[in-house]
Amino acid sequence: MVDLSKLTTEKRNPATMDLDEMSALEIVQTMNKEDLNVIKGVQEVLPQIAKAIEWSAQSIANHARIIYIGAGTSGRLGLLDAVECPPTFGVSYDTVVGLIAGGEGAFIKAAEGAEDHEDFGRNDLEKINCRKEDIVIGIAASGRTPYVIGAIDYAKSLGCRTVAIACNKNSKVGEHADLAIEPDNGPEVLTGSTRLKSGTSQKMILNMISTGTMILSGKVYQNLMVDVKQSNEKLISRAENIIVAATGCTHEDAAKARVDSGGMVKTAIVMILLKCSKEEAEDHLNKSNGFIRKAIK
């Protein structure tokens, strides 16, 4: 039998011993107050998160991947962050990859038993041809998930950099990884329900890793999503608004530049700021590795 009694994520929270007697308002007030501990916990591990961002940006620069892998809620959060990167940053669906124990079907229907097998984690990385240039980020609230540990061990054997995100200090998964990110959020409001504070902290950390990586990879100018994909009318409007915000041009000029650039927001911005052709703007961006600030200097 696995001993979970010493894990912070499994301990009873003294502030919620009467949870079943609280009113609806008291429940949400308590949960909101406890969520403040998530902010504090994540704040304490910002240096480790920054290191994960730097490593991830290096993988992207080497045309490799960020691979999230986890089970249950942790795996679902990794998948969620991965699938949101292409529309937000214009990267391919092979750039940030999410793997979950039990396969994609486990995203909507729990397959919790799949997390108990280390070889399942290895097998899933083998299926996507994990290579040494990739960075593998294992996500496990408890910090002991065999599926994640097996994946990290296999990734390390290939020469990958590995990161563990757990919500217990000195976690087992953290010991196996090159870098451990272990926020202490305190015990859960509902004992052992790691979809709550643990899930919130993991979501925050993944948001930071993916967004920070894309910023360091030239996918952002000022605070604008300059590689946003335009797959519907709302996103076309957003793209044109971004061009206006970045250049100060009119909406009419932004719409024309977007069309003239072939729908490439970055190119349109450089075209306007440097008063140049599409070809010249593309040349400036190629020379600057896609960074607008460098391209316009």
Active-site annotation, residues: 84, 115
DSSP 95-147: TEEEEETT-GGGGTS--GGGGG-HHHHHHHHHHTT--TTSEEEEEESSS--HH
Task: Please choose, from the candidates 114, 117, 119, the residue with its C-alpha nearest in 3D space to the C-alpha of residue 100.
Answer: 114
Task: Please choose, from the candidates 234, 233, 224, the residue with its C-alpha nearest in 3D space to the C-alpha of residue 268.
Answer: 224
What b/e sequence results for 268-284 when a residue is b if at least 16 CB atoms lie within 10 Å of its CB, and e otherwise?
bbbbbbeeeebeebbeb
| H or E element, residue 10 | none
Q: Which two tokens stand for residue 222?
A: 């000022």
Compute the chain's Rg from CA coordinates.
22
Task: Give dist(CA 110, CA 106) in Å, integer.
Answer: 5
Task: Give dist(CA 42, CA 45) in Å, integer.
Answer: 5
- Between strands 220-221 and 135-140, the pairing is unpaired
Q: Which residues contact 157 (CB under 8 A, 6 or more apart)?
A: none
CB atoms within 10 A of CB 5: 7
Q: Which two tokens stand for residue 97?
A: 């990859």
